[in-house]
Amino acid sequence: MKALFSSLALLISLSTQASWQLDNSQSRLDFVSLKNEVAAEVHQFSQLKGHWQDDGSLSIEIAVAGLQTHIPIRDDRMWQYLFKLDDYPLITATGSVTPDAVADLAIGSSKTLRVPLQLTIVGQTQRVQSEVLVTRLGESSLQVNTQAPIMVNGAQFGLTEGLNRLRDLAGLQSINPMVPVTFTVRFEK
């Protein structure tokens, strides 16, 4: 009888934890900035959190404080003038992917999916398209990579004023508002 209750408790525990959780230690999100039309630099957000629920809903939170440009003064300026960290500590991406889309993936195999996302930056939400490659790494592990960069137009998110302020502070001629974004995220069940 004790074994039966233990088994039931385990099944209930597994069923309530059925969603896929993003593993931040195995994930990264990068973007490229272009200044003065010739100087490109890669930056990273290092703090990602998210889940993919059994109903297909996908939600990822990107902590603005996790921005890493490898130049502390630039990080501070981007937090303050571009992303307005105090008012908007998170960038979010939400979407929907039916679990059936990858249910038949064998371990080691991959599948390309088109996933429309609702991206919210500084309180402004825009729809972006992503094409991703989903690879099953194990029974309870998936890796999702961008197949092509997601082009994010900062002007559509109201970032023009912040970009102009950064440009002036750094003494640049220009900062391109179009930013290619790539990611590799690992989900564990």
Cα 160 vs. chain centroid, distance in angstroms? 22
Contact 97, 84 (CB under 8 A): no
Return the structure tokens found at 168: 């002036």
Radius of gyration of the chain (CA): 19
Name 187's Cβ contacts closer than 8 Å, sequence gap at least 6. 20, 21, 22, 23, 52, 141, 142, 143, 144
Q: What is the mean pLDDT of each run of 10 residues along the chain (189 residues)?
A: 40 54 97 95 97 95 97 96 98 94 94 97 97 96 96 97 97 97 97
Quote the pLDDT of residue 99: 85
Quote the pLDDT of residue 18: 64
